[in-house]
């Protein structure tokens, strides 16, 4: 890591202007940005863009955050692995479980942040996905049926206290009678309430948004396999401009036409790209027994409930796939796709954005975008990630 007062120089093609620039980095911040003469080999330079902020990541490498076996060392390890994905900040996501497991999980994450400043910087907030969600098959997804339950403010306060106040996003279903009042209290305490894993009707969705819900979690997923034509909770959320939408655009969770439709309906400004990485991400194809259920990673990378190939149970691809998917499926340009993975989640959490300007935090990603025969990118290959002024080389 650079010493105090030491200047680091990083060169790449600016993700908006497409011109080569050199960033001078000092004490964790961008000190200067200098345009370079465009050399003949400038196309060989990596792209440089604000680092990605992934607000939904359930674990990695065989370890879920929602687990009675989670340790501080595992949290440190997963946080350190984010640089390989171009992620400079992320929300460890704790999913539906019994109260004891939830308390243990968030307390362990909080302890890792307290003991390790770099983890606190990389993981500025916790996302609690459940347990206050629908118990029906489909909306429930892979969340364990026995732990799906109505919202309980005292229970949430206990979990938040164990988290040292670090829960900043709560995904829940508004189908319960006490949901509007619960949402008002949560939003009043500084928590972003997201609608997800829900079987709510139109009136319940509207009441939730009126109470302060402001996000739809992985819209289009965690839903019934068959829905009435209209009305239904997808149209209700898609049509409400007060709701941002997080989207898993990994090529597995949403068909290209659905991504295109959702981004057009919501507008890119209201869309946030997420990975929804499972704790099994990074492992080879095969069957794995987890505390949720038996899961399987298929040869094409899809993570499914074991024994079939349609019911997804989280993701195995990092957020860079979403940036490429947004460009290919929704037709947005590179800068717009990058902002969907950086600026928009930062604003959701009330954090400053990085615009690669002097004074900004030195959080950036350097990457290549190989193109296919159609001229569209086929992948995002991270070369290095700049996290708080520390350059972590990947490839």
**8 A C-beta contact, residue 104 and residue 159:** no
Can you list the domains of the chain with their CATH numbers? 7-49+355-393 (2.30.40.10), 51-348 (3.20.20.140)
Q: State the DSSP code for 274.
A: -
Q: Residues 10, 14, 18, 21: is their CA dihedral positive or negative? A: negative
Give CA separation, 33 vs 12, 42, 179, in Å: 11, 17, 48
CA angle at residue 135 from 134 to 139, to 5 degrees? 55
5: left (phi over 0), alpha (psi -120 to 50) or beta: left
Per-residue pLDDT of the chain (395 residues; tens, 9 = 90+): 555 668 999 999 999 999 999 999 999 999 999 999 876 566 789 999 999 999 999 999 999 999 999 999 999 999 999 999 999 999 999 999 999 999 999 999 999 999 999 999 999 999 999 999 999 999 999 899 999 999 999 999 999 999 999 999 999 999 999 999 999 999 999 999 999 999 999 999 999 999 999 999 999 999 999 999 999 999 999 999 999 999 999 999 999 999 999 999 999 999 999 999 999 999 999 999 876 678 899 998 898 888 887 778 889 999 999 999 999 999 999 999 999 999 999 999 999 999 999 999 999 999 999 999 998 999 999 999 999 999 999 96
CA–CA separation, 47 vs 15, rounded Å? Answer: 6
Total-model pTM: 0.96
Q: 342-362 b/e with 16+ CB inside 10 Å = b?
A: bbbbbbbbebebbebeeebbb
């Amino acid at each position: 890591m650079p010493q105090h007062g030491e200047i680091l120089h990083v060169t790449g093609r600016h993700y908006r202007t497409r011109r080569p620039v050199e960033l001078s980095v000092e004490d964790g911040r961008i000190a200067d940005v200098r345009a370079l003469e465009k050399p003949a080999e400038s196309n060989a330079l990596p792209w440089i863009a604000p680092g990605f902020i992934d607000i939904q990541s359930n674990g990695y490498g065989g370890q879920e955050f929602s687990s009675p076996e989670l340790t501080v060392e595992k949290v440190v390890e997963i946080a350190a692995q984010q640089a390989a994905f171009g992620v400079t900040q992320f929300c460890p996501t704790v999913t539906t479980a019994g109260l004891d497991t939830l308390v243990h999980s968030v307390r362990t994450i909080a302890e890792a942040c307290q003991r390790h400043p770099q983890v606190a910087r990389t993981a500025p907030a916790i996302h609690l996905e459940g347990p206050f969600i629908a118990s029906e098959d489909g909306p429930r997804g892979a969340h364990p049926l026995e732990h799906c339950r109505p919202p309980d403010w005292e229970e949430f306060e206990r979990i938040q206290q164990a988290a040292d106040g670090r829960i900043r996003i709560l995904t829940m279903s508004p189908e319960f009678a006490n949901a509007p009042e619960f949402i008002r209290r949560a939003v009043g305490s500084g928590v972003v309430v997201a609608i997800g894993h829900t079987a709510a009707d139109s009136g319940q969705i509207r009441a939730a948004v009126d109470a302060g819900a402001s996000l739809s979690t992985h819209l289009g997923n965690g839903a019934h396999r068959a829905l009435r034509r209209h009305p239904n909770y997808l149209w209700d959320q898609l049509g409400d401009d007060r709701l941002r939408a997080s989207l898993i655009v990994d090529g597995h969770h949403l068909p290209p036409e659905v991504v295109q439709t959702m981004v057009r309906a919501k507008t890119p400004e209201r869309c946030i790209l997420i990975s929804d990485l499972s704790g099994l991400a990074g492992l080879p194809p095969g069957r794995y027994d987890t505390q949720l259920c038996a899961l399987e990673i298929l040869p094409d990378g899809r993570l499914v409930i074991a024994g079939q190939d349609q019911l997804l149970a989280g993701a195995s691809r990092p957020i860079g796939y979403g940036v490429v998917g947004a460009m290919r499926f929704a037709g947005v340009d590179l800068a717009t796709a990058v902002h969907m993975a950086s600026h928009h989640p930062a604003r959701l959490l009330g954090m400053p954005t990085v615009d690669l300007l002097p004074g900004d935090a030195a959080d950036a990603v350097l990457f290549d975008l190989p193109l296919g025969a159609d001229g569209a990118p086929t992948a995002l290959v991270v070369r290095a990630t700049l996290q708080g002024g520390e350059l972590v080389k990947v490839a």
